[in-house]
Amino acid sequence: MKASVIISTYKRTDNLSLILQALDRQTCNNFEVIISEDDHNPEMAFYISVAQKRHAFPIVHLSQDADEGFRKNQMLNRSIAAAKGVLLIFLDGDCIPHPSLVEEYIRHGTSHRIMTGRRVMLHQRITQRLYRYNSLQPLSLLRIIAAGSSHIEEGLYLPFMPRTKAKGILGCNWGVMKERLLEINGFDEDYQQAAYGEDLDIEWRLLQTGCHLFSMKFRAIVYHLDHAANYGQEELKQSQRLWEQKRKANIVACINGLVKTVVQAPRKYPGALPLPPVAQAL
């Protein structure tokens, strides 16, 4: 099974360098990389043109025509359309993948699974060491613990452990079959603020089609680079209000998605699951 690893990025070539180094270390090589840039940055374009020659895996670069604010979902839809993989793996541009991440997603990928990975929150000290040396050498479990990072338990690679109860999608680390996203018309581009649109909304709509959450804890791991929050409480509230409106409308295949459609009647599926509580998914 071929996978497409879709990396959402904005400005940070230093982050991307670390991520691509980690993808070089993957335990399988049956994947392509799609860099989904929500920006139009000459520095990023030059960096990727060099990276395309340096790395063994195929790298596709998609970008906006201009930086016009948060349009991450639009770029994710363009990435879905361009993807050649049967399985899509979504990573954020501040998350370094564990060497076995792609292999684990491929191993566990089935038609109706929404595979949800987790993340270790790296402390600022180890994040700065990674930037300083542009190397993954500081990324060892002992150094992560010593630096005072959080959610360290999410960084334990224990593939033979019994599966834990699945939690909701974190937009920074999850996977699903491409056909499932085509069925719901991809990401809803009405979301123009961070949060909700790239995780809660897509999760709810996939669940309504009969998909189910599948925990990848101890299997699909990423290391989140420390940084200040990218959005404030007011933006979060705007996204939440929009999501609540979308749920009430109960349109599973979104209107402003991969294909722009006319307003449609709510599309329901037999055996649809109840709505996930907001607090649980955050």
**Per-residue confidence in pLDDT tens, the chain, 282 aa:** 899 999 999 999 999 999 999 999 999 999 999 999 999 999 999 999 999 999 999 999 999 988 777 889 999 999 999 999 999 999 999 999 999 999 999 999 999 999 999 999 999 999 999 999 999 999 998 999 999 999 999 999 999 999 888 999 999 999 999 999 999 999 999 998 887 878 999 999 999 999 999 999 999 999 999 988 777 788 888 889 999 999 999 989 999 999 987 555 445 544 444 433 332 332
CA distance 79 to 225: 23
Task: With H, G, I as helix, E, B as strand and everything else as coil, classify residue 95.
Answer: strand
Q: What is the pTM of this model?
A: 0.91
Task: Note the CATH number of domain 3-281.
Answer: 3.90.550.10
Give every CB contact of residue 79 below 8 A, 6+ residues apart in sequence: 4, 6, 34, 36, 62
CB 215 within 8 A of CB 163: yes
Reading the block at residue 37, the tokens are 């840039």
- Contact yes or no for 6/76 (Cβ under 8 A): yes
